[in-house]
């Protein structure tokens, strides 16, 4: 760990004297009835975040400069070491740390910091990115905005390394306020961009142990994400009958023709008005131009906004038949993430977040429904309170123009910090 820490920036100037963090003894002492629950005014938290903004930005760039492609296991391992070191550097050693092996995926790290309040909050985020290792070398910084605002760009800066750093600093600021804070468990996973296949059980376990979960994915242009589509990637395998295309075409049954029929029929199952989209993104098939194709496959991306639509799509695709009865169609219904909807307990969590943004002078925090999925989908499907999109403000996820607005970092960091203060006591009334 010390070797990794040498690559980090120094801690910089201490926080202002009147906001110095409580001692370790105080942090771990149970709260008594006489302790007040009055949080530091959110405006003061935001000002404090503004004071340390250069350090927060430096930490963000430190993570971005270390590439962590979902498919680069050595890079992921080193990146997780760096992230672990950063958390220790800013927060001290956790009361509990566990690294969960990811097998063919990046490992998942959980770090728990015991609080002074009775609440327990999970801060969840992924450190893997969609960008292949080596992308950084050719990355160009974008031009400024039309309104003159500064942008910072880099692979994974928006999705979602900024959110990871903001989460760490949010706990640091909440501690510095001197009021009770909840126990916080950070969960950093390295396989979200490829489906969270190894980390899903850990995410669900951590969320079930917490009173609330905040997922540090990027915002939707400043809005928190309270609804996300469920998604699946269906693989369709069509088996036909091979024959010579010139000598005996009638003896063959084309898998490609049958697959083309299937793709058209599947597209008709989409219901945009209900939020259901179906996209055939990959097709392969055949062995030669003079052969009636005996095999063809397709990969289909499906997004749904409700469990009812998920069931309808399953049934509708299973009902599709090839016009040539000699052809066999097999469908692998690989639903990866269930739909995320705003349940009653998440609505209460949103109300608390809006208290914070009103105190910041930002008015009510807007919320949005989006088509992309995240690890918040898993938590919402369990009926647990969760908010997603608590991280960066910027745009262009998964594109070379990916960027953040650095002037929003203090407000976003203090939003999470203020919410942590309000969650020092458990969120009541789960759905």
Catalytic residue among 59, 128, 159, 309: 128
First to last CA, the chain: 41
Rounded (5°) CA angle 206-211-213? 60
Q: Which of 156, 159, 99, 162 is nearest to 131 (CA)?
A: 156
Rounded (5°) CA angle 29-34-38? 90
The Cβ of residue 333 has, within 10 Å, a number of other Cβ atoms equal to 14
Contact yes or no for 156/13 (Cβ under 8 A): no
Say whether 146 is catalytic. Answer: no
CB proximity list for 385: less than 8 A, separation 6 or greater: 211, 212, 213, 343, 345, 346, 348, 349, 427, 430, 431
The Cβ of residue 135 has, within 10 Å, a number of other Cβ atoms equal to 16
Q: Residue 43 is inside which H or E element, if any?
A: helix 42-51
Rounded (5°) CA angle 385-387-392? 160
The Cβ of residue 98 has, within 10 Å, a number of other Cβ atoms equal to 11
Contact yes or no for 366/356 (Cβ under 8 A): no
Catalytic residue among 192, 242, 309, 402: 192
Q: Round to whole Å and give the CA distance between 350 and 180.
A: 21
Contact yes or no for 42/360 (Cβ under 8 A): yes
Judged by DSSP in three states, 184 sits in: strand
CB proximity list for 265: less than 8 A, separation 6 or greater: 320
Contact yes or no for 178/22 (Cβ under 8 A): yes
Q: Round to whole Å and give the CA distance between 161 and 412.
A: 14
Q: Which of 376, 283, 300, 290 is nearest to 334 (CA)?
A: 300
Say whether 355 is catalytic. Answer: no
Judged by DSSP in three states, 399 sits in: coil
Q: Which of 173, 207, 171 is nearest to 187 (CA)?
A: 207
Judged by DSSP in three states, 355 sits in: helix
Contact yes or no for 196/103 (Cβ under 8 A): no
Query: Which amino acids are annotated catalytic?
Result: 128, 192
């Amino acid at each position: 760990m010390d070797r990794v820490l040498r690559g980090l920036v120094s801690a910089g100037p201490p926080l202002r004297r009147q906001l110095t963090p409580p001692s370790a003894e105080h942090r771990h002492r149970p709260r008594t009835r006489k302790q007040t629950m009055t949080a530091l005014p959110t405006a003061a938290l935001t000002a404090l975040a503004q004071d340390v903004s250069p350090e927060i930005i430096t930490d963000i760039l430190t993570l971005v400069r270390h590439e962590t492609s979902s498919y680069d296991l050595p890079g992921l391992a080193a990146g997780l070491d760096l992230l672990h070191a950063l958390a220790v550097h800013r927060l001290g050693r956790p009361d509990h740390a566990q690294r969960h092996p990811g097998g063919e995926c990046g490992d998942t790290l959980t770090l728990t910091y015991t609080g002074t309040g009775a609440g327990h909050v999970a801060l969840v985020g992924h450190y893997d990115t969609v960008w292949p290792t080596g992308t950084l070398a050719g990355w160009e910084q974008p031009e400024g905005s039309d309104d003159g605002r500064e942008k910072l760009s880099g692979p994974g800066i928006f999705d979602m390394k900024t959110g990871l750093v903001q989460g760490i600093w949010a706990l640091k600021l909440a501690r510095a306020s001197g009021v009770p804070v909840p126990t916080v468990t950070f969960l950093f996973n390295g396989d979200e961009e490829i489906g969270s296949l190894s980390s899903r059980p850990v995410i669900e376990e951590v969320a079930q142990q917490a009173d609330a979960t905040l997922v540090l994915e990027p915002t939707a242009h400043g809005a928190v994400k309270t609804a996300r589509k469920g998604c699946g990637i269906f693989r369709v395998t069509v088996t036909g009958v091979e024959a010579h295309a010139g000598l005996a075409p009638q003896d063959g049954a084309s898998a490609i023709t049958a697959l083309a029929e299937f793709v058209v029929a599947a597209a008709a199952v989409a219901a945009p008005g209900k939020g259901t989209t179906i996209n055939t993104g990959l097709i392969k098939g055949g062995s030669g131009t003079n052969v009636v194709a005996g095999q063809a496959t397709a990969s289909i991306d499906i997004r749904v906004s409700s469990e009812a639509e998920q069931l309808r799509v399953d049934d509708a695709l299973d009902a599709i038949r090839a016009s040539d009865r000699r052809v066999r169609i097999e469908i692998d219904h690989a639903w990866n993430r269930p739909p995320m909807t705003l349940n009653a307990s998440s609505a209460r969590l949103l109300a608390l977040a809006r208290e914070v943004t009103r105190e910041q002078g930002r008015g009510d925090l807007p919320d949005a429904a989006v088509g992309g999925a995240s690890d918040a989908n898993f938590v919402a499907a369990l009926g647990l309170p969760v908010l997603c999109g608590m991280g960066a403000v910027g745009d262009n996820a998964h594109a070379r123009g990916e960027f953040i607005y650095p002037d929003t970092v203090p407000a976003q960091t203090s939003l999470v910090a203020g919410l942590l203060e309000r969650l020092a006591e458990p969120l009541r009334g789960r759905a």
